[in-house]
Amino acid sequence: MSIAVAESTQVDLDAFVATEYPKVVAAVGLITGNRQDAADAVQDALVGFLAKPPARPIQNLAAWITVVASNRARDLQRSRAAESRALEKVGVTDESVDAELAGLDIDVQAALMALPPQQKEVCVLHYLLDHSVEQIAEGLGVSMGTVKTQLHRARKALAARLGPDRGEEEHDG
């Protein structure tokens, strides 16, 4: 992409964000019937536009982004619907997933969610699903040492967040 095209793209995007973004998000929400995913879809379309601008000049950026974002939002809806149908076939429902999480202390859930993705993943696999370090390493395609390191870091972070005397505070009240 030439410098002139890059500058033109930036000017177009600045103008779009300043004047059209809220209208386009609302339009995508109306088109797809899903307002929650509309902003994400518009942002994905913008990222795609920046990463790989269309070969031919876009006369109406708002219209182009609206169409691309609507398509992305519909793709996401189809994907979620297919996932939901597949889970229903094997007997997994949102309620059964929620029931599994209900047994987990809310502070522990929050502490787990605050962990970096790799630490969270090995923690959940090891402590909640009772997978061995060897099984986790094999499943993730990493060494056992990597899993042990991630578990060690996760334990330290969880201990710092949950505190050493958290259980005593609950019984004092």
pTM over 0.95: no
Q: Which of 100, 143, 102 is nearest to 122 (CA)?
A: 143
Question: What residue segments make up the domains of the chain, in order of their start?
Answer: 3-89, 104-164
For the domain with range 104-164, which CATH number is right: 3.30.70.20, 3.40.50.1000, 1.10.10.10, 3.40.50.300? 1.10.10.10
Task: Please check the confidence at residue 26 and state whether its pLDDT lies above 90.
Answer: yes
Q: Which amino acid is at 173?
A: G
Asked if 31 and 70 touch (Cβ cutoff 8 Å), the reply is yes
d(C-alpha 56, C-alpha 5), whole Å: 11
pLDDT tens, position by position, 94-152: 666 566 666 677 888 888 888 898 998 998 889 888 899 999 999 999 999 999 999 99
